[in-house]
C-alpha cells in the first residue's frame, strides 16, 4: 500500500475523533422552550447544589436506569437508528409541572416475573429487549401493594434480600422519588402556579385577621380562615415531601446552606403574611409557562431568574452552569469509546508485525495517538470533576474506577514511549475501556458526586491514602493485563521469540536499559517480562504506602492502626502477593512465564480487594454494595483462571517457544525502531 | 548436619514466598469468615491464634487445618532474621533493604504488642453527664454492692473470666460465698409467660418471674453477646438461694442478710480512671435536605484533680483527644442526638507503626536513590 497513506492514517484518525469531541463542545441551539437555560439553573438536592439537568439525570437514572426517555421504541440491534428522546431536563419539567403527561411515560423498570404477576402488570407497559417499562398510571392501582411489599423488603438487610425483594425495594424507592419530585415546583393539582401565588397573597390577610379574631375570642369569618388553612395544609405536605430544594439563600451574603424548599417558603409566607422572596415568583412563572405551553413566558422567566441569581447567588449560578457543561461533555463515555478503538488498532498492529511491518507500524501509531487523545479527554473530565466537587479525584467507588482507568492508561502511554511495540497501548487501553465501562454502570445508581459522610470528609486523607491505594490497584491491573498479553502472544503466536534487533547492533551498555534494544531484553518476551516486573515494583510501592497511610488514618479516626476490616485485608492481600512475586523472582523460583501467571492472579486479588470486599457487606468500608456486579466479578475470575490455565501449558506447546518458530522469528525481517532514534 | 539443614530451611527465600502466600490465603479466609463469625471472633480464630481449627458442624472435636496469624507471623520473623543473618554483607548499597526489613520486624512486633496490650472500651455520656470510668463492651462483671449505709457504697466485682470458670468466690467484705452455678455466654431473659412449663432459672429475686433462653454467639457487626449467670449465695448458716444476673435485668436485685443489704447486678466491665469527663454538648450536623451526616462532635470538660487540669476539648471525627495514655475518639451517638459515645483506647505501643513505617519509607527511598545513582553512574561511564 502507498506509504503516504500509511503515514497519514494516524493523523487522519486522530483528526476524526478530535473533531467528534469538538462537535460536542459547540453550543446546541435552543428549541422553542429554552430548556438548556432552565437545565443550567441551580437547585439543592442530595445535600449539594446542582443544576436541574443533574437532578433530572440522577433521578431518571435511579428510576429508569437511563439518562433519557426514548419516545419511540426501536429494536436493540438497530443501533444506527436514533429515535427521538425526551432529555432528562424536559422529563423533570414534565414531572414537576405537567404530572398528567409524565404519569403516562413508561419509566418504571420491572423485570422480575413474580413481581409482574404480583402486581398484575402482565400485558401492560412497554417491552424492550426483555425489559418491561411501566408508566405511573399503570402502577396507580397497585401503589398500596408496592408500598407494603417495599417496606417489608427494606426491613431485610440489603445483602440478605432475595432478587424479588431487591427488585421490589428498588421499585418502591423509585415510586417514592417520583412522587416527591412532583412537589418541587407546585403543590398537587395546581394548574397555574402564578395564579395560585396571587390567590395565596389575596387570602393571607383576611385569613390571618380571622385567626387573630378567633384567638382573641372575638367573632370571626369562617370562610377566609378555612381558605388559608387549606393553602397551608397543601404547603406543609409539600415541605415534608419535596426532594429538591429550589429556593436559594435570599441574598449574596446569606449563609450558603440556607436553601429552602418551596413548601417551606410558602408555608412561612402564609403564616407571617409577608410576600415570598423573589425567586418564588420566577419559579412560579417557569412552572406556569411550561404547564400552559407558553414558551415566551417560560423563557422570559428562566432568563429573569438567571439574572436574579447572577446578582444574589453568583456562586450557585456558576456551579449550575459548570456542572451542566460537564454533563453535556460526557468525557468518560467518549474516552471509553476511543480506548476501545485504540485497543483494537494496537492488537491488529501487534498481530501483523511480522506479516506487514510498515502497516503494523502505522496502526500502532494510530493506536498510540488515539490513546493519547482519550487520555486527554479522560484527564479533562477528571480535572473538571475535581474542580466541581472541590475534592481529590477519588471519593467513591465510581470515581475510583475512573481513576484506575486514567492511571493505567497514563502508565501504558509511558511504557509505549519506551517500548514502541503496541503492548503498552493494547493492555492499558483495554483496562481503560473496561474500567470506564464499570464506572458507567456504577453511575446508573444515581448521583456520583454525593456528599462525603462525616468520617470520609477529609481532603488530606482522600488525597493521600485513597490516591496511593488506587494507584496500587491500577498498577496491579496493568501488570495483570500485560501478563495476559504475554500468555496470549506466547501460546497463540510466535511473537514472544521475536528478536528486537539484529545481532550485535545494540550499543552496550545502552543509556536506556529498559528500552527494547537493551541486550538483556533481547526478545519481545523478555521485554514484556521486564515491563511486568517494573510495573509490579511500582504496584508494591504504592499498595504498601497506601495501606500504611490507611492504617495511620484509621489510627487517627478510630484509634487502631489495623482493625482487620475487609477493605484493609484486601489491601494487605495485594501487598503480600506483590511481596511473594518479588521474592519468588529474586529467589529464582519463577521466570518470565511464572511472573506473567502470578501477575494475572494479581488481577484476581486486586478485583477482590476493590469490589469483592464491598460485596461482603460488612465492615466500615462497605459503602457501595452491589449485587448484580457479583456475577460479573465471578465471570472475570473465571476468565483470569482460564488464562492462567493456558499459561501453565508446557512451554513446547507454546507457538513462541517451539524450535521452528524461534528460528523463523529470529531471522524475521522485522527490526524494531530503536527507542533512542527518530 | 540437621542443624545446618534447619538453618538453611529457615533462611531460604522459598520459605519467604511460601509464608507470604500462606499469609495472603489466611487473610482471605479470615475476611470471608467475618461474614459468618463476625469481626471479633474471626479475628480471634484466624489472626490471634497459632492454628485455625475446623470441625464438622455440631461435633465437639476440631482439628487444626491452617496456620494461624501468630504462627505465620512468628515464622516470618524467624525467616526474616535468619535470611538477613545468612546473606548480610556490610555493604552500604544494601542499607535500604536492611532498613525496610528492620521496619517490617518492628511493625510485626508492634502489632503483636498492640494485640496483647491494648484495651478498648467505650464511654457513653448523655449531655451534662460526667463519668470517671469507661466500659468494656465485650466483657461483663457481676457487681455486688453493699448499700446498708445510704451514704456509702462498697462494691465487689467479679470479672467475666472468673464467672466463666463457674467456681466459688469468697471475699472478706461479703458475709457470703458466691457459688457460680451456671454461666451462659449469651442468653435472653424475658418475662415468664403464664403457660411456661420449664423450671425457673433461679428461685430468688426476679428469677421465678422470668425465662432464660441460651442463644448462640452473635455474629452481626454492631451487636454483642449478653451473658447471664446463675449464682448461689451461701452464708455459714445456710444458703440464701439462687439468683439470676443478666444485663436484661435493669433493676439491681436486693439481698438482705444478717442486718446488711446488698444489691446484685450484671453490668459491662468498668475501667476506672483518676480523671472525669463531662459531656457539655453533642453536635450532629447533616447536609441540608438529607440525612447524610456532615460531622459529629462532642464538646467535653476534662477534669483531673491530680494536677488541677480543667479544660474543654472538642472531639471530632478524625480529631481524637489523647490524655493520660488513653485516646478518646468520636465513635457513635444516641438516636435523639442528646448523647455521645466515645471510643477509649489504651495502647502503649501506638507509636510503633509510625516509627516502623518511617523506617520502611526511608529504606525504600534509600534503595531507589542508590539504584538511581548507580544507574546514572553507568551512563556517565559510557
* pLDDT (tens digit per residue) in A641-653: 999 999 998 888 8
Average pLDDT (A486-492) is 91
> What burial class does residue A179 get, using C-beta atoms within 10 Å of its C-beta: 0-12 exposed, 13-18 middle, 19+ buried?
middle
Q: Residue A68: how many CA atoms within 13 Å on its side-chain side?
A: 12
d(CA B326, CA B118): 10
Average pLDDT (B8-23) is 91
Q: Is B146 in the same domain as B254?
A: yes
d(CA A337, CA A437): 10
The last residue of a domain, from among B269, B285, B316: B269
Residue B81, pLDDT above cutoff 80: yes
Q: Is A431 in the same domain as A537?
A: no
**CB atoms A559 and B30 under 8 Å:** no
Structure confidence at residue A355 (pLDDT): 81
The pLDDT mean for chain A works out to: 84
Structure confidence at residue B221 (pLDDT): 61
| Chain B residues close to A589, C-beta within 8 Å | 13-14, 17
Q: Is A591 in the same domain as A538?
A: yes
Cα A395 to the center of its chain, rounded Å: 12
The last residue of a domain, from among B269, B301, B316: B269
**CB atoms A573 and B43 under 8 Å:** no
pLDDT band at A90 (very low <50, low <70, confident <90, very high): very high
| CATH assignment of the domain containing A403 | 1.20.120
Residues 6+ apart with CB under 8 A from A308: A278, A279, A282
Of B114, B293, B319, the CB nearest to A453: B293
Average pLDDT (A294-309) is 93
Residue A80, pLDDT above cutoff 80: no
Q: Which residue has the higher pLDDT, A521 or A365?
A: A365
The last residue of a domain, from among A157, A181, A205: A181
Instruction: Please tell me the distance in Å from B345's CA to the nearest CA on chain A.
Output: 6
Residue A626, pLDDT above cutoff 60: no
Structure confidence at residue B92 (pLDDT): 73
Neighbours of A308 (CB within 10 A): 17
* Position A533 in a domain: yes
* Position A657 in a domain: yes
Structure confidence at residue A79 (pLDDT): 61
| Phi, psi (deg, nearest 5) at residue B202 | -150, 160
Q: Which residue has the higher pLDDT, B311 or A508?
A: B311
Asked if B160 contacts B141 with a C-beta cutoff of 8 angstroms, the reply is yes
Asked if A52 contacts A89 with a C-beta cutoff of 8 angstroms, the reply is yes
d(CA A84, CA A61): 18
Residue A429, pLDDT above cutoff 70: yes
Structure confidence at residue B222 (pLDDT): 64
The last residue of a domain, from among A129, A158, A181: A181
d(CA A232, CA A207): 11
Residue A258, pLDDT above cutoff 90: no
- The residue among B14, B20, B22, B345 with the most chain A CBs within 10 A of its CB, best to mutate, is B20
> What burial class does residue B176 get, using C-beta atoms within 10 Å of its C-beta: 0-12 exposed, 13-18 middle, 19+ buried?
buried
Q: Is A589 in the same domain as A642?
A: yes
pLDDT band at A518 (very low <50, low <70, confident <90, very high): low
Write out pLDDT tens, residues A231-240: 999 999 999 8
The pLDDT mean for chain B works out to: 85
pLDDT band at A172 (very low <50, low <70, confident <90, very high): very high
Cα B322 to the center of its chain, rounded Å: 19
d(CA A107, CA A88): 12
Residue A247, pLDDT above cutoff 70: yes
Q: Is B94 in the same domain as B155?
A: no
Domain that holds residue B361: 2-118+351-381
> Which stretch of A5-19, A235-249, B204-218 has the lowest confidence by average pLDDT?
B204-218
Instruction: Please tell me the distance in Å from A47's CA to the nearest CA on chain B.
Output: 5
Write out pLDDT tens, residues B40-68: 888 888 988 899 988 787 777 888 889 99
- Structural domains in chain B (count): 3
Average pLDDT (A393-405) is 90
Cα B103 to the center of its chain, rounded Å: 26
Looking at chain A, how many residues does it have?
A: 678
* Position A447 in a domain: yes
Chain A touched by B23 (CB under 8 Å):
yes
d(CA A497, CA A667): 10
Neighbours of B319 (CB within 10 A): 14
* Position A537 in a domain: yes
Q: Is B203 in the same domain as B156?
A: yes
Helix, strand, or coil here: B227? coil
Residues 6+ apart with CB under 8 A from B324: B273, B274, B275, B304
Burial annotation A24-47 (CB, 10 A radius, 16+ → b, else e): eeeeeeeeebbbbbbbbbbbbbbb
Which range among A162-166, A217-221, B84-88, B242-246 has the greatest average pLDDT? B242-246
d(CA B222, CA A615): 18
Q: Is A558 in the same domain as A608?
A: yes
Residue B22, pLDDT above cutoff 90: yes
**What are the grid coordinates assigned to A322, written together?**
459548570
- The sign of the dihedral angle between the CA atoms of A626, A631, A632, A637 is positive
Residue A667, pLDDT above cutoff 70: no
Q: Is A209 in the same domain as A246?
A: yes
The last residue of a domain, from among B236, B269, B302: B269
Q: Is A133 in the same domain as A251?
A: no
- Provide, rounded to the nearest whole percent, the portion of chain A with pLDDT above 90: 39
Distances (CA, A) of A208 to A205, A399, A451: 5, 52, 41
Average pLDDT (A388-412) is 90
d(CA A90, CA A295): 13
Q: Is B251 in the same domain as B281?
A: no
Instruction: Please tell me the distance in Å from A169's CA to the nearest CA on chain B.
Output: 19
Asked if A47 contacts A435 with a C-beta cutoff of 8 angstroms, the reply is no
- Helices A524-558 + A397-418 axis angle, to 10: 150
DSSP A18-54: HHHHHHHHSPPPP-SS-HHHHHHSEEEETTEEEEHHH
Instruction: Please tell me the distance in Å from A573's CA to the nearest CA on chain B.
Output: 5
d(CA A165, CA A152): 8
R_g of chain B, CA atoms, integer Å: 28
pLDDT band at A129 (very low <50, low <70, confident <90, very high): low
Asked if B160 contacts B139 with a C-beta cutoff of 8 angstroms, the reply is yes
Residue in chain A lying closest to B115 (CA): A562
Average pLDDT (A183-211) is 88
Q: Which residue has the higher pLDDT, B112 or A131?
A: B112
d(CA A362, CA A375): 20
d(CA A133, CA A568): 41
Q: Is A542 in the same domain as A619?
A: yes
**What are the grid coordinates assigned to B287, written together?**
447536609
Helix, strand, or coil here: A419? coil
Q: Residue B18: beta bridge partners?
A: none
pLDDT band at A619 (very low <50, low <70, confident <90, very high): very low
Helix, strand, or coil here: A152? helix
Structure confidence at residue B108 (pLDDT): 87
Residue B7, pLDDT above cutoff 90: no
Instruction: Please tell me the distance in Å from A274's CA to the nearest CA on chain B.
Output: 24
d(CA A304, CA A294): 16
Q: Is A125 in the same domain as A63?
A: yes
Size of interface A-B (CB pairs under 8 A): 155
d(CA A409, CA A26): 27
> Is the ipTM here above 0.95?
no
pLDDT band at A405 (very low <50, low <70, confident <90, very high): very high
| Chain A residues close to B79, C-beta within 8 Å | none
- The residue among A257, A510, A556, A583 with the most chain B CBs within 10 A of its CB, best to mutate, is A583
The last residue of a domain, from among A256, A286, A315: A315
Q: Which residue has the higher pLDDT, B197 or B297?
A: B297
Structure confidence at residue A74 (pLDDT): 65
Structure confidence at residue A666 (pLDDT): 45
Q: Is A637 in the same domain as A492?
A: yes
Q: Residue B239: beta bridge partners?
A: B234
d(CA B22, CA B8): 20
d(CA A98, CA A618): 43
Write down the residue that cell numbers 473496561 correspond to. Answer: A434
Chain A touched by B294 (CB under 8 Å):
yes
| Cα distance from N-terminal residue to C-terminal residue, chain A | 23
Of B118, B318, B353, the CB nearest to A557: B318
d(CA B2, CA A250): 86
Structure confidence at residue A430 (pLDDT): 93
Q: Is A229 in the same domain as A245?
A: yes
Write out pLDDT tens, residues B142-159: 888 888 887 778 888 888
* Position A546 in a domain: yes
Residue A368, pLDDT above cutoff 70: yes
- Structural domains in chain A (count): 4
Helix, strand, or coil here: A326? helix
pLDDT band at A612 (very low <50, low <70, confident <90, very high): confident
Average pLDDT (A71-89) is 73
| Chain B residues close to A457, C-beta within 8 Å | 294-295, 317
Of B14, B32, B331, the CB nearest to A589: B14
Of B31, B39, B350, the CB nearest to A555: B350
Q: Is A24 in the same domain as A40?
A: no
Kind plus residue range of the DSSP H or E element containing A423: helix A423-442
Which range among A121-130, A422-431, A452-461 has the greatest average pLDDT? A422-431
Structure confidence at residue A677 (pLDDT): 30
**CB atoms B31 and A570 under 8 Å:** yes
- The residue among A559, A604, A676 with the most chain B CBs within 10 A of its CB, best to mutate, is A559
Q: Is B210 in the same domain as B97?
A: no
Q: Is A478 in the same domain as A430?
A: no
**CB atoms A552 and B14 under 8 Å:** no
d(CA A489, CA A342): 18
* Position A321 in a domain: no
- The sign of the dihedral angle between the CA atoms of A161, A165, A171, A173 is negative
Domain that holds residue A531: 460-678
Strands of A149-260, DSSP E: none
**CB atoms B17 and A587 under 8 Å:** yes
- The residue among B121, B318, B359, B364 with the most chain A CBs within 10 A of its CB, best to mutate, is B318
Amino acid at each position: 500500500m502507498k506509504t503516504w497513506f500509511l503515514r497519514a492514517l494516524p493523523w487522519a484518525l486522530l483528526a476524526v475523533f478530535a473533531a467528534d469531541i469538538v462537535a460536542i463542545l459547540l453550543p446546541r441551539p435552543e428549541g422553542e422552550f429554552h430548556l438548556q437555560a432552565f437545565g443550567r439553573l441551580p437547585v439543592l438536592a442530595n445535600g449539594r447544589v446542582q443544576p436541574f439537568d443533574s437532578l433530572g439525570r440522577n433521578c431518571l437514572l435511579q428510576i429508569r436506569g437511563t439518562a433519557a426517555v426514548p419516545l419511540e421504541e426501536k429494536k436493540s440491534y438497530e443501533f444506527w437508528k436514533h429515535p427521538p428522546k425526551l432529555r432528562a431536563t424536559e422529563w423533570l419539567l414534565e414531572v414537576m409541572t405537567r404530572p398528567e403527561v409524565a404519569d403516562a411515560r413508561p419509566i418504571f423498570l420491572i423485570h422480575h416475573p413474580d413481581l409482574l404477576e404480583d402486581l398484575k402488570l402482565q400485558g401492560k407497559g412497554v417491552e424492550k429487549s426483555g425489559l418491561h417499562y411501566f408508566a405511573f398510571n399503570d402502577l396507580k392501582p397497585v401503589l398500596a401493594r408496592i408500598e407494603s411489599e417495599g417496606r417489608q423488603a427494606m426491613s431485610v438487610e440489603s445483602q440478605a434480600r432475595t432478587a424479588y425483594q431487591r427488585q421490589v425495594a428498588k421499585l418502591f424507592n423509585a415510586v417514592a422519588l417520583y412522587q416527591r419530585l412532583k412537589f418541587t415546583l407546585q403543590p398537587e393539582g395546581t394548574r397555574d402556579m402564578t395564579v395560585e401565588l396571587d390567590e395565596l397573597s389575596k387570602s393571607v390577610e383576611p385569613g390571618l385577621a380571622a385567626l387573630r379574631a378567633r384567638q382573641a375570642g372575638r367573632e370571626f369569618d369562617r370562610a377566609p380562615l378555612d381558605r388559608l388553612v387549606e393553602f397551608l395544609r397543601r404547603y406543609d405536605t409539600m415541605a415534608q415531601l419535596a426532594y429538591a430544594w429550589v429556593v436559594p439563600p435570599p441574598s449574596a451574603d446569606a449563609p450558603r446552606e440556607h436553601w429552602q424548599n418551596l413548601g417551606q417558603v410558602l408555608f412561612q409566607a402564609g403564616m407571617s403574611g409577608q410576600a415570598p422572596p423573589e425567586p418564588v415568583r420566577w419559579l412560579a412563572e417557569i412552572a406556569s409557562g411550561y404547564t400552559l405551553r407558553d414558551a415566551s413566558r417560560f423563557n422570559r422567566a428562566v432568563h429573569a431568574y438567571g439574572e436574579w441569581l447572577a446578582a444574589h447567588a453568583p456562586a450557585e449560578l456558576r456551579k449550575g452552569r459548570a456542572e451542566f457543561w460537564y454533563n453535556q461533555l460526557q468525557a468518560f463515555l467518549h474516552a471509553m469509546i476511543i480506548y476501545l478503538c485504540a485497543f483494537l488498532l494496537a492488537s491488529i498492529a501487534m498481530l501483523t508485525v511480522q506479516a506487514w511491518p510498515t502497516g503494523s507500524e502505522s496502526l500502532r501509531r494510530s493506536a498510540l495517538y488515539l490513546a493519547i487523545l482519550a487520555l486527554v479527554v479522560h484527564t479533562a473530565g477528571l480535572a473538571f470533576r475535581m474542580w466541581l466537587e472541590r475534592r481529590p479525584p477519588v471519593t467513591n467507588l465510581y470515581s475510583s474506577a475512573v481513576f484506575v482507568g486514567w492511571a493505567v492508561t497514563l502508565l501504558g502511554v509511558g511504557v509505549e514511549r519506551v517500548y514502541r511495540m503496541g503492548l503498552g497501548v493494547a493492555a492499558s487501553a483495554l483496562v481503560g475501556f473496561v474500567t470506564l465501562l464499570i464506572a458507567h454502570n456504577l453511575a446508573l445508581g444515581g448521583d456520583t458526586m454525593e456528599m462525603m459522610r462525616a468520617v470520609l470528609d477529609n481532603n488530606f486523607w482522600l488525597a493521600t491514602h485513597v490516591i496511593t491505594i488506587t494507584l496500587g490497584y491500577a498498577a496491579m491491573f496493568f501488570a495483570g493485563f500485560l501478563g495476559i498479553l504475554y500468555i496470549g502472544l506466547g501460546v497463540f503466536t510466535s511473537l514472544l521469540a521475536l528478536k528486537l534487533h539484529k545481532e550485535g547492533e545494540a550499543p552496550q551498555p545502552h543509556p536506556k536499559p529498559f528500552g527494547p534494544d537493551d541486550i538483556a531484553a533481547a526478545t519481545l518476551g523478555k521485554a514484556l517480562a521486564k515491563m511486568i516486573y517494573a510495573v509490579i515494583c511500582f504496584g508494591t510501592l504504592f499498595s504498601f504506602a497506601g495501606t500504611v497511610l490507611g492504617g495511620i488514618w484509621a489510627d487517627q479516626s478510630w484509634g487502631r492502626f489495623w482493625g482487620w476490616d475487609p477493605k484493609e485485608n484486601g489491601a494487605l492481600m495485594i501487598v503480600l502477593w506483590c511481596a511473594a512475586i518479588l521474592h519468588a523472582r529474586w529467589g529464582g523460583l519463577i521466570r518470565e512465564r511464572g511472573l506473567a501467571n502470578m501477575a494475572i492472579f494479581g488481577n484476581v486479588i486486586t478485583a477482590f480487594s476493590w469490589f469483592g470486599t464491598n460485596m461482603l457487606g460488612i465492615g466500615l468500608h462497605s459503602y457501595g454494595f452491589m449485587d448484580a456486579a457479583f456475577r460479573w466479578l465471578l465471570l472475570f475470575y473465571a476468565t483470569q483462571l482460564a488464562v492462567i490455565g493456558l499459561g501453565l501449558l508446557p512451554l513446547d506447546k507454546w507457538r513462541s517457544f517451539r524450535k521452528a518458530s524461534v528460528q523463523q522469528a529470529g531471522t524475521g525481517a522485522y527490526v524494531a525502531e530503536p527507542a533512542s532514534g527518530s | 548436619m540437621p542443624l545446618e539443614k534447619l538453618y538453611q530451611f529457615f533462611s531460604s527465600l522459598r520459605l519467604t514466598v511460601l509464608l507470604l502466600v500462606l499469609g495472603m490465603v489466611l487473610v482471605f479466609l479470615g475476611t470471608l469468615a467475618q461474614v459468618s463469625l463476625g469481626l471479633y471472633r474471626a479475628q480471634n480464630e484466624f489472626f490471634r491464634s497459632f492454628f485455625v481449627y475446623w470441625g464438622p458442624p455440631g461435633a465437639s472435636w476440631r482439628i487444626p487445618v491452617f496456620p494461624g496469624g501468630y504462627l505465620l507471623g512468628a515464622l516470618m520473623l524467624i525467616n526474616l532474621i535468619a535470611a538477613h543473618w545468612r546473606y548480610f554483607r556490610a555493604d552500604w548499597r544494601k542499607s535500604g533493604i536492611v532498613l525496610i526489613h528492620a521496619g517490617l520486624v518492628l511493625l510485626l512486633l508492634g502489632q503483636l504488642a498492640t494485640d496483647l496490650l491494648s484495651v478498648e472500651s467505650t464511654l457513653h455520656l448523655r449531655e451534662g453527664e460526667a463519668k470517671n470510668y469507661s466500659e468494656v463492651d465485650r466483657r461483663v462483671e457481676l457487681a455486688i454492692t453493699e448499700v446498708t449505709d445510704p451514704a456509702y457504697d462498697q462494691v465487689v466485682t467479679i470479672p467475666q473470666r472468673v464467672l466463666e470458670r463457674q467456681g466459688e468466690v469468697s471475699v472478706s467484705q461479703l458475709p457470703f460465698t458466691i457459688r457460680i452455678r451456671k454461666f451462659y455466654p449469651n442468653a435472653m431473659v424475658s418475662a415468664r409467660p403464664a403457660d411456661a412449663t420449664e423450671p425457673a432459672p433461679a428461685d430468688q429475686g426476679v428469677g421465678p418471674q422470668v425465662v432464660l433462653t441460651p442463644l448462640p454467639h452473635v455474629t452481626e457487626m454492631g451487636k454483642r453477646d449478653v451473658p447471664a449467670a446463675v449464682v448461689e449465695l451461701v452464708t455459714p448458716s445456710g444458703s440464701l438461694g439462687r439468683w439470676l444476673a443478666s444485663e436484661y435485668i435493669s433493676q439491681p436485685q436486693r439481698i438482705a442478710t444478717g442486718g446488711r443489704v446488698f444489691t446484685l447486678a450484671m453490668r459491662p466491665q468498668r475501667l476506672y480512671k483518676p480523671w472525669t469527663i463531662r459531656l457539655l454538648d453533642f453536635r450532629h450536623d447533616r447536609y441540608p435536605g438529607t440525612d447524610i451526616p456532615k460531622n459529629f462532635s462532642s464538646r467535653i470538660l476534662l477534669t483531673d484533680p491530680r494536677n488541677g487540669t480543667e479544660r474543654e476539648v472538642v472531639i471530632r471525627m478524625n480529631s481524637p483527644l489523647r490524655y493520660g495514655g488513653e485516646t478518646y475518639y468520636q465513635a457513635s451517638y444516641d438516636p435523639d442526638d442528646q448523647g455521645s459515645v466515645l471510643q477509649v483506647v489504651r495502647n502503649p505501643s501506638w507509636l510503633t507503626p509510625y516509627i516502623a513505617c518511617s523506617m520502611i519509607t526511608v529504606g525504600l527511598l534509600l534503595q531507589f536513590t542508590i539504584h538511581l545513582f548507580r544507574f546514572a553512574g553507568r551512563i556517565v561511564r559510557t
